Amino acid sequence: MLPKKNRADRKAVEKIFKEGKFINSQNLTLKFIKSDSAVPQISFIVPKSVAKLAVKRNYLRRLGYSVLEKHLKELPPITGAFVFKKYQDDISILENEIKNIFNKLN
């Protein structure tokens, strides 16, 4: 799990959705704003339209955080939220999409 200092809180996510830019991929969307802090803050959001059961939504969130933890040092200082578009529990596909999104970001 990602440390608390690297996860965006509710107020930050609201600000992201109001003012942020976005990058799309097949299964994920990254909505973000540039931040002044040196530590990147990222959250994962799984809507009910993707997975009805809370157990599955939490599972997808945990998968996302585990993939993101590996690439945390490569991140620029942003505050962002990954939003799942559809159910994808294959960790290698998620990892590739997150890498591609970060490559577009840099």
29: left (phi over 0), alpha (psi -120 to 50) or beta: beta
Confidence (pTM) = 0.90
Distance CA 84, CA 19 (A): 19
C-beta separation of 31 from 21 below 8 A? yes
Query: What's the CATH fold of domain 4-105?
Result: Ribosomal Protein S5; domain 2 (3.30.230)
What tens digit of pLDDT does each residue of 28-66 get? 999 999 988 788 999 999 999 999 999 999 999 999 999
Q: How far is CA 79 from the centre of its chain?
A: 10
Is pLDDT at 106 greater than 80 in this prediction?
A: no
Q: Where are the alpha helices (DSSP H) in 1-106?
A: 10-19, 54-70, 91-105
